[in-house]
């Protein structure tokens, strides 16, 4: 990508309104406006076996239908006692139609016999920025360490946030307000890395 190309808005490759709000809250201070995908686009199949493969597939796929840059993210929870599962399958851990509550219930079911001290996990987020006008994309990764509780806690956040306890905070990701989560979360780390790359390239 040429350093003179400026990015002022990105289409976010998701139908999840929570993510749109969260990404916009993080990126707007850097002059990036987050837009929803145009209506009527068939969902990307997401065949990748890693977070990186998935985001590159999603970003390049949706970029075909968008006049501008597309930002894709793939995030999930990797539980050590489950061999890294659910990983890239986090959003479909309870089946294609599973709700957030279903996913949390399934995770707790699989961890029933695992004692608390063995429930270490990582929240992982990988993001990719792509435009059909350019042959190269940008990929960035962020992670945070934590433990899986045996019951949900907190009213903020979504997905696995109520179960993910961060020892350094003494709270789950759902027990901290959005503005604080936007500073320390796995997604915040990935986006910070992306912004840093864009600044170095003179794109923002």
H or E element, residue 165: strand 164-166
Specify if 1 maps to a domain: no
Specify if 3 maps to a domain: no
Specify if 19 maps to a domain: yes
Phi, psi of 70 (to 5 degrees): -115, 130
Give how many domains the chain has, as a whole number: 1
| Terminal CA-CA length for the chain | 13
pLDDT tens, residue by residue, 106-139: 999 999 999 999 999 999 999 999 998 876 789 9
Of 91, 136, 122, whose CA–CA distance to 190 is shortest? Answer: 122
> Residue 26: is its pLDDT beyond 50?
yes
Q: How confident is the model at residue 27 (pLDDT cuts 50, 70, 90)?
A: very high
Q: Long-range contacts for 96-99 (Cβ within 8 Å, ≥24 apart)?
A: none
Its domain, for residue 23, covers 9-200
pLDDT tens, residue by residue, 168-193: 999 999 999 878 887 888 989 999 99
Specify if 2 maps to a domain: no
Predicted TM-score of the model (pTM)? 0.88
> For tokens 């993001």, what's the residue?
127
Question: Which bin fits 87, alpha (ψ -120 to 50), beta or left (φ > 0)?
Answer: left
Look up the CATH number of the domain holding residue 179.
3.90.950.10
**Contact 51/138 with Cβ under 8 angstroms?**
no
Residue 103 has which token pair? 């996913």
**Contact 154/173 with Cβ under 8 angstroms?**
yes
Of 163, 144, 165, 162, whose CA–CA distance to 154 is shortest? Answer: 162
Specify if 90 maps to a domain: yes
Q: Which positions are annotated as active-site residues?
A: 74
């Amino acid at each position: 990508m040429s350093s003179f190309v400026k990015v002022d808005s990105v289409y976010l490759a998701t139908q999840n309104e929570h993510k749109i709000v969260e990404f916009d809250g993080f990126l707007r201070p850097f002059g990036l406006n987050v837009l929803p995908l145009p209506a009527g686009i068939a969902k990307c199949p997401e065949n990748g076996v890693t977070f990186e493969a998935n985001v590159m597939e999603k970003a390049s796929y949706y970029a075909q239908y968008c006049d501008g840059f597309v930002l894709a993210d793939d995030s999930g929870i990797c539980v050590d006692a489950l061999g890294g599962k659910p990983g890239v399958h986090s959003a479909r851990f309870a089946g294609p139609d599973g709700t957030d509550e279903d996913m949390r219930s399934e995770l707790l079911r699989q961890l029933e016999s695992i004692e608390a001290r063995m429930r270490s996990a990582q929240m992982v987020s990988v993001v990719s920025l792509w435009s059909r006008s350019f042959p190269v994309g940008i990929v960035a990764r962020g992670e945070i360490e934590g433990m899986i509780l045996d019951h949900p806690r907190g009213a903020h956040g979504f997905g696995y946030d109520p179960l993910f306890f961060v020892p350094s905070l003494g709270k789950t990701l759902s027990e901290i307000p959005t503005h604080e989560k936007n500073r320390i979360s796995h997604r915040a780390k990935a986006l910070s890395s992306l912004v840093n790359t864009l600044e170095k390239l003179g794109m923002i």
